[in-house]
Amino acid sequence: ESLLKEVEGFTTSDLKAVEEFRIKMLGKKGAVTALMGEFRNVPNEQKKMFGQKLNLLKSAAQEKVNLLKEELSHTSTSAGEKLDLTRPAEFTPLGARHPLSVVRKEILDIFSRIGFSISEGPEIEDDFHNFTALNFPPEHPARDMQDTFFIDEEIALRTHTSSVQVRVMENSTPPIRTVSPGRVFRNEAISARAHCIFHQVEGLYIDKGVSFADLKQTLLYFAQEMFGEKTEIRLRPSYFPFTEPSAEVDVSCQICNGKGCNVCKHTGFLEIMGCGMVDPNVLENCGIDSNVYSGFAFGMGIERITMLKYQINDLRHFFENDLRFLNQFKSAY
Ligand code: PHE
């Protein structure tokens, strides 16, 4: 009984004293341990009562020790010293930016430097913004160019970020200079070269007197900033419903300097994007007077640019979160 009172009344602010108390009560030669030893000498009829009190004492002592230790650990270390706030922190492993984020930022930075703003829009888009405004006639086979995930007849996952440019044109007056980064979706079988989700940056420039020469020079500037100042570009005629004329843009191969190798299939060039002069119908659909204004547009896949820049041969790496792949981009800011 008196030991129980002692246990309950005990208090200290010194960890060493807590440890001494523990040894005194619960240690091999401690008071509680000694009483345990006494147990067999207790007359049978008292054993039950004695046992209960002993258990009570033991757990009270244990709880007291734990409580005091817990309290004191907040203000001092186990050696009883004050916490050392100058101790160097433990090493925290840092992650790496995803290569697509690295390259998206690089693309946006390049266009920001020549006055392009950044615009974003919804991933779930209506038919008007993804197709109709962009001069895809209803039932026209051009809609099949981009296999679409439809949500219902009028609503789909956007197949390109040209839809964002439509929104920008609707909501502002020229001059317009904007780049639109974002995720896009196409119903394609997944392989090393295609995926049902990928990322684009599309660009739009509308003002009075914008010409094809402006487009070419802008793309050359981009290619040289992205791939190095010796990079050359080549334009090949192409078709998009929203641009006329339209072109496919190639850059000289980085591996062989345009001389021809396995990577560029001995052509010396690799395709990086589509582009063209905005079709007057598109300007009109978006409330811009095509007699006053003209413009150019271009669109590229961030995956494709990243694959060329870092010589990645399989698109699926970008989506599989394999740390052996991602860790290689630790130094790429
Ligand atoms: N929107 C086209 C695509 O997704 C790319 C493009 C944009 C082409 C602008 C020409 C002009 O394939």
Residues 202-258: tens digit of each pLDDT: 999 999 999 999 999 999 999 999 999 999 999 999 999 999 999 999 999 988 888
Task: Give the C-alpha separation, 240 to 275, whole Å.
Answer: 8
| 244 in a labelled binding site | yes
ipTM of the shown complex:
0.98
Which residue, judged by its Cα, is nearest atom 7 of ligand 1?
299
Task: Give the C-alpha separation, 40 to 53, whole Å.
Answer: 15
What integer pLDDT is reported at residue 250 of this predicted model? 95
Give the pairing of strands 124-126 and 155-157.
antiparallel
What integer pLDDT is reported at residue 28 of this predicted model? 86
The reported pTM is 0.74
Bridge partner residues of 204 (DSSP): 178, 297
Do the beta carbons of residue 277 and residue 127 sit within 8 Å? Answer: no
Do the beta carbons of residue 110 and residue 302 sit within 8 Å? Answer: no
What integer pLDDT is reported at residue 65 of this predicted model? 85
Say how many Å lie between the CA of residue 260 and the centre of ligand 1: 27
What integer pLDDT is reported at residue 218 of this predicted model? 98
Task: Give the C-alpha separation, 140 to 212, whole Å.
Answer: 27
Say how many Å lie between the CA of residue 282 and the centre of ligand 1: 13
Which residue, judged by its Cα, is nearest atom 10 of ligand 1?
275
Say how many Å lie between the CA of residue 299 and the centre of ligand 1: 4
Residue with token string 């570009």: 233
What integer pLDDT is reported at residue 246 of this predicted model? 98
Which residue, judged by its Cα, is nearest atom 2 of ligand 1?
299
Task: Look at residues 254, 157, 167 and name the one whose alpha carbon lies nearest to residue 202.
Answer: 167
Residues 253-291: tens digit of each pLDDT: 988 888 888 888 888 999 999 999 999 999 999 999 999
What integer pLDDT is reported at residue 141 of this predicted model? 67
In the predicted model, residues of the chain with pLDDT beneath 70 are 75-81, 141-142, 144-146, 332-333
What integer pLDDT is reported at residue 47 of this predicted model? 84
In degrees and rounded to multiples of 5, residue 158 shows phi and psi of -60, 145
